Structure 1
Amino acid sequence: MIVSLMNSTARPIFPFTAIVGQEEMKLALALNVIDPKIGGVIIMGDRGTGKSTTIRAITDILPEIEVVKDDPFNSHPVDSELMSEEIRLKIESGFTLDTVSKKVIMVDLPLGATEDRVCGTIDIEKALTDGVKAFEPGLLARANRGILYVDEVNLLDDHLVDVLLDSAASGWNTVEREGISIRHPARFVLVGSGNPEEGELRPQLLDRFGMHSEIKTVKDPELRVQIVEQRSDFDKDPLAALSRYETQQQEFRNKLVKAQEILPKVNISYDLRVKISKVCSELDVDGLRGDIVTNRASKAYAAYNGRTEVLSTDIKAIISMCLRHRLRKDPLEVIDSGEKVQKTFGKIFGESL
């Protein structure tokens, strides 16, 4: 039975399965939804290439999650890693908590956001006078178990980017003021986007993103016409456009749910893991993040295709997105970083490209 993906009271979102010409970006987002521990994705490309549209579209298609009712952190009713301290203590004390199902939230982080707005604030006066930890949750609290989207991430203050990446990596946000400390879950998929012409991210920050998607303006005239017509049809009658793609949307949603279910069972052989590390070593990738992310993403890609064993073709499909942003920049090199990764992959894995 197909559950309707349309809600007449909500603002219609362009259907994810209708987006064409940006397959790498769509795949990177899907893999991070399947396994948020991949570490998020940074999408760099030209203006007007559908970055924001695609991110909103995948959020809209995600299955609903079960949360503790009226909890500002979207606490999971069972998993202690995804619930606040207050909820955990209530459960340990034997309280029965009401739960509700809600759509996965996408939190937009504005460029001018302050650290207090992002992390949350502690009301020191209330804490001292009433003896309670008065905490005003920030954007990281709202984003727990959802997607945190930062447009123009390359223009965001480096300190704030560090805060976001630390929370995304640990899954927790800690706020400390005047000796008072509050800690809450902040497990989200971090998605950053930007235009390289407006400035690059520092290599140290770039390396912290799990995957990198490079998107360019579609050149094929027929495909451009198709994209324009799709957008025009949607703007004229959003509900009719959503209805046309409802079956495909539901199939894609089911594919994500199935992938999340089989991910813990996916295995990657020792031989393939060694080859991944050889590629990273050959490319002179600093640290071990490249190895870890490539292993995770290849397992997520195998699960995405309904398999429990990683093949070399799975690694080939995702390795450029996992490593291209970790390579040292050589201003004299004319080869594209993604091509360099694929060339090294072919050499190590013995495959002709």
Structure 2
Amino acid sequence: MRATFPFAAILGQDEMKLALLASAIDPTLGGVLVFGDRGTGKTTAVRGLAELLPPMLVVSGCRYHCDPGANGSGCDDCQTRGRQGPLPSEMAPVPVVDLPLGATEDRIVGALDLERALSRGEKSFEAGLLARAHRGFLYIDEVNLLEDHLVDLLLDVAASGENVVEREGLSVRHPARFVLIGSGNPEEGELRPQLLDRFGLSVEVSAPENVSTRVEIIKRRDAFENDPAAFKVKWLPETRRIREQILSARNKLPKMELSQEVLERAASLCVRLGTDGLRGELTVMRAARAVAALEGSDAVSDHHLRLVAPSALRHRLRRNPLDESGSTARIQRTLEDVFCG
């Protein structure tokens, strides 16, 4: 198995790393979209995130790794077993599943064995990538090149939290709740608006222009490729620190204070930017709360709103033909007006 470059050793790309950590703390954020040039660490960061995630409690023997405390919202098998008594449980790693660009629909949603069903009368289901990603992360590289029918499929599952496979009168359903992470190069095509709106946070990444930063990135990558094991050991204390930070933030999140003043500032920011609907305010609020918990704060402040506003709102802005500046520049100008005006 190929070694994974440690998340803690990634230099720069602070907005991307913060967005990924926020989604690890609060999965209800809606996931992260990372757009940027090739070679800017997008895939490295997502795969490195997997090693940071604290293990989760699952039902022993369940192929969908259902939560034993799900209170009836698990798979059919776990619901049946749950009526007979407490479900056996164990700790398991949080799944981070890659969805390859050329994956077929059957590989994604799973496949029913019709021959076995007809000959033996048994319902046999081969679980797909959505089943493997339940309660974890589903990563789609080059998400803007995904075929339309697969985009529709993902939208349906993301909205319902359930995957339904139907073939020749047979059907299987199972829970499929996951954090969606997508990455891509904007020069290769735009993302469909329906899918774009599903991402809670949108991040733009680029290669650093500072020479010393670039040199340090090259040195770290070279050291990792020469001796992956030794490099990972070197960064293990920092990896453990971030993992403990995520755990602490998750515990702190439900108790995080959010004042009326902070909510009004978030709403005022969205009104001035002209974002569609109320999803912008909700995402800004949740992301700010997650980042505040990550920093160990007791309450959300203007500082946290300013940190998350660009990634929460840049993909929700209406195009203004009279303003040729990019969405990030528009958000920064409006932030200055709201917080310093």
Worse overlay, 298-307 or 172-181: 172-181
Look up the match of 1:49: 40
Contact residue 39 and residue 169 of structure 1 kept, 8 A? no
Instruction: Select which of 211, 215, 234 maps to 1:221.
Output: 211
Q: Is 2:107–2:128's contact at 8 Å kept on the other side of the alignment?
A: yes
Report the counterpart of residue 251 of structure 1 in structure 2.
Answer: 241
- The offset of 1:129, in angstroms, is 5.4
Structure 2 distance, partners of 1:36, 1:166, is 18
Q: Does 1:270 align with 2:260?
A: yes
Aligned CA distance change for structure 1 residues 120 and 256 (closer, same or farther; 3 Å): same
Give, in whole Å, the separation in 1 of the partners of 2:170 and 2:81: 21
**Alpha-carbon distance, 1:342 to partner:** 2.4
Cα distance change, pair 91–259 in 1 and its aligned pair in 2 (3 A): same
Q: Aligned residue for 1:154?
A: 144
Find out whether 1:70 has 2:79 as its counterpart. Answer: no
Distance of 2:262 and 2:155 partners within structure 1: 28
Matched residue, 1:90: 81
* Conserved? CA contact 2:73–2:79, under 8 Å: no
| Secondary structure in 2 matching 1:298 | helix
Q: Which residue does the alignment assign to 1:238?
A: 228
Quote the offset at 1:11 in angstroms: 3.8
**In 1: Cα distance, 2:254 partner to 2:79 partner:** 25
Given the alignment, which residue of 181, 200, 203 partners 1:210? 200
Q: Would the aligned equivalents of 2:138 and 2:180 in 1 still touch at CA under 8 Å? A: yes
Shift of 1:273: 1.9
Determine the C-alpha separation between the residues in 2 that align with 1:11 and 1:35.
Answer: 29
| Aligned equivalents of 1:131, 1:287: Cα separation in 2 | 49
Letter in 2 for 1:105: P
Matches within 5 A, 1:171-182: 171-182=161-172
The equivalent position to 2:306 in structure 1, one of 311, 316, 319, is 316
Report the TM-score, using the length of structure 2 for normalisation: 0.93
8 A contact 1:212–1:321 mirrored in 2: yes
How far does residue 329 in structure 1 lie from its aligned partner after superposition? 2.7
Matched, 1:164 2:154: yes
Mapped partners of 2:277, 2:115: distance in 1: 44
Q: Which residue does 2:316 correspond to in 1?
A: 326
Match of 2:27 among 36, 49, 53: 36
The amino acid of 2:47's aligned partner reads R
Q: 1:82 to 1:242 in 2, by over 3 A?
A: farther
- TM-score relative to the length of structure 1: 0.90
| Residue matched to 1:3 | none
Quote the residue 1:341 is aligned against: 331
Contact 2:72 2:79 survives alignment (8 Å)? no
- Distance (Å, rounded) in 1 between the aligned partners of 2:187 and 2:87: 53
Contact 1:203 1:326 in 2 (8 A): no
Deviations 1:105-155 (A, max 9, x none): 221111111222211223345445555433221100001122111000000
Look up the equivalent residue of 1:94 and give its one-letter code. Answer: G
Give the fraction of aligned pairs with identical amino acids, expressed as a percent: 46
CA deviations 1:232-287 (Å, max 9, x no partner) are 01111112111111111111000001111111112312332233222222212112
Aligned-pair CA distance for 1:175: 2.3
TM superposition shift of 1:171: 2.6
1:331 to 1:130, Cα distance in 2 relative to 1, 3 A: farther
C-alpha distance in structure 2 between counterparts of 1:153 and 1:48, whole Å: 16
Alignment coverage as a number of residue pairs:
341
Structure 1: runs of 5+ lacking an equivalent: 1-9
CA RMSD of aligned residues (A): 2.0
Report the counterpart of residue 7 of structure 1 in structure 2: none
Instruction: Call closer, same or farther: CA 1:254–1:20 in 2, change over 3 Å.
Output: same
CA distance in 1, matches of 2:76, 2:167: 18
Residue aligning to 1:6: none
Counterpart code for 1:41: V
Deviation at 1:186, TM superposition (A): 1.3
- Within the alignment, does 1:305 sit opposite 2:280 as a pair? no
Could you tell me how far apart the structure 1 residues matched to 2:47 and 2:146 are?
A: 20
Moved more, 47-56 or 280-289: 280-289
Cα shift at 1:288: 2.0
Residues 158 and 267 (structure 1 numbering): CA distance in 2 closer, same or farther, change over 3 Å?
farther
Instruction: For 1:275 and 1:48, locate their aligned partners in 2 and report how far apart those are by CA, in whole Å.
Output: 37
Q: Distance in 2 between matches of 1:130 and 1:267?
A: 58
Segments of structure 2 that go 5 or more residues without pairing to the other structure are none
Within 5 Å, give how 1:117-156 maps onto structure 2. 117-127=107-117, 130-156=120-146
